[in-house]
Structure 1
Amino acid sequence: MKNSILLIAFFCIAAIGFSQETESKYDEKLAKSLNADERGMKQYVFCILKTGSNTTATAEEKNNLFKGHMDNITKLAKEGKLVLAGPFMKNDRNYRGIYIFNVATIEEAQALVATDPAVKANIFEVELTPWYGTAALQETLKIHEKITKK
């Protein structure tokens, strides 16, 4: 009987501890500022950059296009239009990188992709699709700046 009471007490304490850990930490002001829905999610546009059809660009032209590509990424990120970007490692699909645009429509994303010099020069081709993900993704740049030395 004593063991049963101790076991019940243990489970009650564990349940109370667990319920306290899972209490909502919902921040309505933050959710609204990020345009989050009730699940903390929102719509973005996902972009896959693939190897493009331009095979005649010289090394110097490619270097200039990639500099413009990186400058454009920085500009769009600072404007809050691009929440994630990065290259893929070597793969057999000709995938070069991804963008996740902080816009709701393919048309808006197409306009942003058109500002990339490497896309304009057909170094990259793009595939765009709507994507539903955490609204917190928009906070990534703030964190990234805190962990980047250069």
Structure 2
Amino acid sequence: MAVNRKPTTVAASGLTKDEDVKEYVCLLTPVRETFLDDATDEENRIVEEHFRYLEDLLAKGRLILAGRCLDGPPGIVVFEAESADAAEGIMNNDPAVKAGIFRAEVHPYRVALLRSG
């Protein structure tokens, strides 16, 4: 499952060049609506790989935050990348996206406020 890029989001934000954007947000949604209720053992194993992949991004200093809504999809991943293509590459390498379990939608993003500590 490839990342779905929304190119209009860059234009809508007033940013026109990849180098203007270093942060990205990815919305992750299961491709199957019933996934949270009926995930197979293999899908759960791949989701564990997905979690380890995000832990690795955190250890490398790429990941800003990741989590999921408690009342259902989506999950979000906020991370840094050199370009939109690099951001897509990061999410295309996520095991759950590669396996077609999650659909990834990447948008340029800028953290405006962040609690310290």
Equivalent residue, structure 1, for 2:47: 66
Partner of 1:80: 61
- AA matched with 2:104: V
Q: What does 1:89-100 correspond to in 2, within 5 Å?
A: 89-91=70-72, 95-100=73-78
Any idea what the Cα deviations from partners look like across 1:70-114, whole Å, max 9, x if unmatched?
1101001111111110011224xxx33000111242211111112
Of 11, 15, 24, the residue aligned with 1:45 is 24
Q: Cα RMSD over matched residues? A: 2.9
The aligned amino acid for 2:106 is L
Unpaired segments ≥5 residues, structure 1: 1-41, 144-150
Deviations 1:45-67 (A, max 9, x none): 11100122598996221121011
**Count of residues in Structure 1 that have an aligned counterpart in Structure 2:** 95
TM-score, length-scaled by structure 1: 0.54
What residue identity is the alignment partner of 1:74? E
* Greater RCO, 1 or 2 (C-alpha within 8 Å, sep 6+): 2
Query: Structure 1 pair 112/54, CA: closer, same or farther in 2 (3 Å)?
Result: farther
> Which ranges of 4 or more aligned residues in structure 1 deviate by more than 2 Å?
53-58, 134-137
Which secondary structure does the structure 2 equivalent of 1:65 belong to?
Answer: helix
Supply the distance in 1 between the matched residues of 2:41 and 2:98 (Cα, whole angstroms). Answer: 16
Which has the greater radius of gyration?
Answer: 1
TM-score normalised according to structure 2 size: 0.67
Once the two structures are superposed, what CA deviation does each residue of 1:94-149 show, in whole Å capped at 9, x if it has no partner?
A: x3300011124221111111221111111100111111224868xx7xx5xxxxxx
Match of residue 84 from structure 2:
106
Where in structure 2 are there 5+ consecutive unaligned residues? 1-20
